[in-house]
Every structure is written in structure tokens, then in C-alpha cells.
């Protein structure tokens, strides 16, 4: 029999013992930063834009010269010149004059607005007719409007995306400091497990957990090292785990985690290090275990893919990706009642639907261990171990699955 801990205790133990997993950092070129976790605040050393810039093609004017103008009574202004892209502007705009300016051009001194080309007419004699009044600031992005010097633009712990790379480029940052990508060793074990490319015979099953966990690890910004499938043999599993520990920052073993005669994972992890727990009061995922082996985290995950994935999300993902890089829970309303087993936290996959009152969470129930149930789900909810279930209409918080843009697949 397993001596189980609560899910809260398991989370706390893992977080406390392995909090420094992401302490190793490295500097990388900014254009390779997408998908990495930032290890520093990005502070603007300079402002953007560095000058007052036109947002439209048109004419730079003194706004007061246009007050009261219309199609019937245009304001007549003398054309004083033209702003060239990328060039400094030597001519200023005085009252009664204007300058032609392209989008992105530097607004000349004296001008406090830009009138769009569509509202202006050239008469061919150096005179411009303006048919729409402009207020001060119209058509202009002022110096430092986009980015103020000294402002924090990207916070430490952010999962960098393409638009962050663009921000770094705008600041002239050619490199940034990121958390090093931990290497996670993945081992599937079991006499019945065969490679994905193989055709199962008799009671064999394809190895779902290795590709499932590998993709989950990579979605957290880490990298993987996959090991060959290990049969239910203590010595072979021991040797494989030792090999993984020599080259990896974390080890995930799936299968062999129950209390049966051939379930060797706990014996191997216990022999190599300190077994922190074996068994969690959670459904699915009860036989999950965790060990510290010379400071390296090693997890024994259930063989059932759904249980293995949920335990990865609950215990492993927060170690690999800081909380700011993970999707925040989405508030929703439960569409139907859910009975639950008293004494065990239950994790239930749900599909999200839009409604006038907000998001609705539709439970997806099926027999234990069926990976296909996750294909129809957007995330999952947690039912507290001290609750006997949730009623229809209950407020819930849906935790999106990894690498999923919240709401992207909503009907």
C-alpha cells in the first residue's frame, strides 16, 4: 500500500527542494530568444521614437492655422519644403506655412500637427489648401511616446515571443540573458511497451508517454534526451536512470510506479537517492513519486498517459517554466454537476465554450487512462479533496494545457 501525501504537500515538497533548478543563465543573440525564459528585466536605455514622428502621409502644420477651415473655406498655407525620410529637418514651420511629410518622417520644429494628404489640395503655385481642421498632436507620435527611457518593457521570467524580439530590436539590444534550458531525460518502462512505429501484438501497447512528455518538456522551454524503452527489469532500469542522471538536469520515468511486484521505479529511485514521496491523494496520478538524487529531481510518473500528463502539469512544469511563463487559469462556470471521491483531489479535463455570461466549462468524462479524452479538452479543473463534488453552475478556474493560447479553440 502507498503512503500518500496530498497534492498540496507534493507541490510544496517539489517546489522547496528544487527551487534553484532555473538558476543557471546564459546570454544569447536576441534573434534566437523566442521561446526562451528571460532572466533579467529589459529596461529601456533610450526612448522610442527618438523624435516626434508623423503617423500619416500629409502636411506638417501649425494647428491654429487650420481652425475653422472646411471644404468650402480651406485654410491656405505656403509650402515651405519637404521632409526627407532619415534626414534631419533644417527648415521650421512658421505660422501660415506647412511642409510635406511622409509617414515616419521627423516633424519639423514649429509644427504641432500633421494633416492627412486626403484633406489637402495642392494648387500648383506653392499654396496648399487644408479642408479639415487639426488639433494639436493630430497625426504625430511624440518623442518617447512608445517607450520612455528607464521603463521596464519585459519582466524577468517572461516567456519570450516574436513581439518581444521586435522590442529588443527597437532598443538596439543585440543580446539578452535567459535561463539555460534544462535537459530532461525521459524513460518509458514496461514489458508491454513498444516503439511508436511498431505494430503492437498480443497485449503490447505503443509508447505514448515518451513523445507526450517530450513535447510537454519542450513547451516549457526545456530540452529533452530520450532513452530506449526499458523492460520490467530492475538492473536495466537502474543502469538507464544512472545514465540519464549523468547527462540530464531532471529525469522522468513513466510506468512501474505502482506497488506491484514488477514496479521497479520506486526501488530504483530509492536506491539512488532520497525518495521524497511515493503516492499522492489525487485522481488521476495516485502512484506518482519524486526523489532527490544528489540534488537532481527524478520523477516516477504513472504509465497511464492522462495521469502522467496531469502530474507533469502539476509538479514538473512549474519547475521548468517560471509561473509567469505558464498560462493563467481562466474563470468559467461549470455546465453540469460533478460527483467526486472524498479524500482525493480530482483533476477533470474540460472543454471551454463561449456564452453571453462568459466562459462555460464542459466536463469531459471517460474511462481512466484514455488519452483521446484530452483531444477534446482545452484544459482542466481541480476538485478539492475535501469536497464531494461540484454542482452545475459552480464557478471554476480552468488551467489551460501547455503551449495553448487561451481561448484559441473556443467554439
Q: Which CATH class is domain 53-141?
A: mainly beta
Question: Do residues 345 and 285 make contact, with C-beta atoms less than 8 angstroms apart?
Answer: no
φ, ψ at 361 (rounded to 5°): -100, 120
Q: How far is CA 216 from CA 187, 190, 271, 298, in A?
A: 14, 21, 28, 16
CATH fold of 330-400: Beta-clip (2.40.340)
Contact present, 232 and 191 (Cβ < 8 Å): yes
Instruction: For the chain of 411 residues, list the mean pLDDT of each consecutive stretch of 10.
Output: 87 91 87 88 88 96 97 96 92 96 96 97 95 96 90 88 91 91 95 91 92 91 93 95 97 80 85 96 94 97 94 93 71 94 88 93 76 85 92 95 48 35
For the domain with range 7-24+181-325, which CATH number is right: 1.10.10.410, 3.40.309.10, 3.40.980.10, 3.40.50.720? 3.40.980.10
Q: Which CATH superfamily is domain 25-47+151-179 in?
A: Molybdopterin biosynthesis moea protein, domain 2 (3.90.105.10)
- pTM for the full model? 0.75
Q: Is 271 exposed, middle or buried (0-12, 13-18, 19+ CB in 10 A)?
A: middle
- CA 370 to chain CA mean position, Å: 27
- Please give the Cα distance from 157 to 165 (Å, whole number): 15
* CA 98 – CA 81 distance, rounded (Å): 8
* pLDDT on residue 408: 34
pLDDT score, position 410: 39
pLDDT of residue 228: 96
DSSP state of 159: B
The SS3 call for residue 142 is: coil
Residue 13, pLDDT score: 95
Give the DSSP H/E element, type plus range, for residue 120. Answer: strand 120-122
pLDDT of residue 405: 34
Q: Do domains 53-141 and 330-400 have the same CATH topology?
A: no
Domain ranges of the chain: 7-24+181-325, 25-47+151-179, 53-141, 330-400
- What is d(CA 106, CA 93) in angstroms, rounded to the nearest whole number? 12
**CA distances, 277 to each of 31, 44, 298 (Å):** 42, 46, 11
Amino acid at each position: 500500500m502507498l503512503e500518500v501525501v496530498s497534492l498540496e504537500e507534493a507541490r510544496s515538497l517539489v517546489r522547496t527542494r528544487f527551487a534553484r533548478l532555473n538558476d543557471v543563465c546564459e546570454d544569447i543573440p536576441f534573434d534566437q530568444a523566442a521561446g526562451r525564459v528571460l532572466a533579467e528585466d529589459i529596461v529601456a536605455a533610450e526612448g522610442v521614437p527618438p523624435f516626434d514622428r508623423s503617423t500619416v502621409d500629409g502636411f506638417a502644420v501649425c494647428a491654429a492655422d487650420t481652425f475653422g477651415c472646411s471644404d468650402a473655406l480651406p485654410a491656405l498655407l505656403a509650402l515651405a519644403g519637404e521632409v526627407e525620410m532619415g534626414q534631419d529637418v533644417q527648415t521650421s514651420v512658421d505660422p501660415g506655412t506647412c511642409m510635406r511629410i511622409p509617414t515616419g518622417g521627423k516633424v519639423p520644429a514649429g509644427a504641432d500637427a500633421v494633416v492627412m494628404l486626403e484633406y489637402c489640395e495642392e494648387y500648383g503655385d506653392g499654396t496648399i489648401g487644408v479642408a479639415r481642421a487639426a488639433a494639436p498632436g493630430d497625426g504625430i507620435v511624440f518623442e518617447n511616446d512608445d517607450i520612455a527611457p528607464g521603463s521596464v518593457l519585459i519582466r524577468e521570467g517572461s516567456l519570450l515571443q516574436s513581439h518581444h524580439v521586435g522590442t529588443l530590436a527597437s532598443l538596439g539590444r543585440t543580446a539578452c540573458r535567459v535561463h539555460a534550458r534544462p535537459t530532461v531525460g525521459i524513460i518509458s518502462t514496461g514489458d508491454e511497451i513498444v516503439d511508436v512505429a511498431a505494430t503492437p501484438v498480443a497485449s503490447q501497447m505503443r509508447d505514448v508517454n515518451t513523445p507526450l512528455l517530450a513535447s510537454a518538456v519542450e513547451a516549457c522551454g526545456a530540452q529533452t534526451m530520450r532513452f530506449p524503452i526499458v523492460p520490467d527489469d530492475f538492473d536495466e532500469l537502474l543502469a538507464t536512470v544512472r545514465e540519464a542522471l549523468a547527462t540530464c538536469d531532471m529525469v522522468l520515468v513513466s510506468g512501474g510506479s505502482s506497488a506491484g511486484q514488477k514496479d521497479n521505479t520506486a526501488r530504483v529511485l530509492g536506491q539512488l537517492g532520497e525518495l521524497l514521496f511515493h503516492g499522492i491523494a489525487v485522481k488521476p496520478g495516485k502512484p506518482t513519486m519524486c526523489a532527490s538524487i544528489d540534488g537532481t529531481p527524478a520523477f516516477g510518473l504513472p504509465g497511464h498517459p492522462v495521469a502522467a500528463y496531469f502530474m507533469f502539469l502539476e509538479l514538473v512544469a512549474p519547475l521548468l517554466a517560471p509561473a509567469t511563463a505558464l498560462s493563467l487559469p481562466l474563470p468559467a462556470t461549470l455546465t453540469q454537476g460533478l460527483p467526486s471521491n472524498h479524500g482525493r483531489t480530482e483533476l477533470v479535463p474540460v472543454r471551454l465554450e463561449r456564452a453571453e455570461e462568459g466562459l462555460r466549462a464542459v466536463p469531459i468524462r471517460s474511462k481512466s487512462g484514455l488519452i483521446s479524452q484530452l483531444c477534446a479538452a482545452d484544459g482542466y479543473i481541480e476538485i478539492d479533496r475535501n469536497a464531494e463534488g461540484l454542482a452545475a453552475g459552480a464557478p471554476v478556474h480552468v488551467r489551460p494545457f501547455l503551449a495553448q493560447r487561451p481561448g484559441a479553440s473556443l467554439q
